[in-house]
Structure 1
Amino acid sequence: MNPDRLAELEEERRFLLESIRDLDREREAGDVDVDDFVALRDGYVARAAAVLREIEDGKSRLPARPTRPLWRRLVVPAITLLIAVMMGWAVASFAGERLPGQTISGGPEIDEVSATLSQARQLLRQGDLLGSIQRYDEVLVLEPDNVEAATYSSWVRAVVGQQSGDMAVLAEGLAGLEDAVAIDPTYADSICLLSVAKARFVVPPDLDGARAAGDACLALNPPAEMTGMIEAMLTEL
């Protein structure tokens, strides 16, 4: 696929995802009646799904690059170790109490949501960060309030932004983590990861924000390995 066409599709994907989120907010505010909401949202979702498939197909047809992307080649030892540990905790948490298809809103696309979440987790286990982002974004097209997808699509963006030095991507990841916390303040993953990002990724570090998020994380009683890491990090701040 022509790279220019691929860029156009990526822009359309961003537009459609934002349009779906805006429409959901308008419905919650009572600005759109039910019939219009259903018709518009179904249209957006169908088009977004088609665009995502076209993007995936287009990327698969691009010639292989001789070198890995910059974010894969950059190594910052302390941060890299932290990210590795955090990713390990994230993957391990998927095997916990959360069921593969468990969602916040319980929408009608539960089977597709469950399958796509499973694919995203598998890609994350394999270290395919960009692939996992795409799958999590597909979940958010189907179910905008899915807290797992909102959390991990944002966390991986923050990781990619930090390692590549792309501040715009990092900022997008941080904003997404804030949104994930707002979706479900009792979901430990999002607030714990937000604390780490504010302390370790932001330059200069957002110390007050990291402490507040870290305290909130610990109050939710996360797994022991996460508790130890957050406590150690807060002690250093």
Structure 2
Amino acid sequence: GFIGYFYILTFIIGFGAVMMVAPNPLYMDTVKGVLVGGNNMAAIHLAHATGGDLFLGFISAVAFATILAVVSGLTLAGASAVSHDIFANAICGGKVNEATEMKVSKISALVIGVIAIWLGIQFEKQNVAFMVGLAFAIAASANFPILFLSIHWKGLTTRGAMIGGTLGLVTTVTMVVLSKTVWVDVFGNKAPLFPYKDPALFSMSLAFLGCWIFSKLDFSEQAKIERARFDAQQVRCEIGIGINEVSKH
């Protein structure tokens, strides 16, 4: 509900900015024909146009707090994924002590922070709302097909999920880099190699196709076990029967 409300607000803010900000010379650079401070300032200018300095200060504080919360949350999530999921479980097979895992987590947080700062500088002039859409495109291509198929399709296997999700991730990132957003606006090339700004339609379809094909081609013993467990998993997923104890992750 909150997410749906948020996206409804984007329409309200957008049309409100068109009506109250665009015609006002206080917020528009009449010489260049662009918004003062860039397109990302539309909501801030609209707050000033509707509520004056008090509302402007409130919205600015909310935006600043939201940025801090999102950045810190994503940094912790990324560092945890690298240290626990990739390093401790995938690379070391779970045979690693907590001190080493914590050290890797700290190093990962530092590296992720440096990369994020560099990317933020490179994409400084890009529209924030559009960049959020690109992040959702990655989630829709790498995560959504696996989540959807694991719940609703009995034939999905671990191998199919891994290959399909990887295809979606790699395809999305590649298409974004080759699109106008990065290839032209950031790298300075004359024309994009990928003609569309939004890659999700193609990358998500490829992820679904990859999950289906490589699950169908998986005849391993592990795949047979996973298919046989689907019915019990679905019952537990829908009604919760069998969830009696807390498990360590």
TM band (smaller chain) = under 0.3
The TM-score with structure 1 as length reference comes to: 0.24
The TM-score with structure 2 as length reference comes to: 0.23
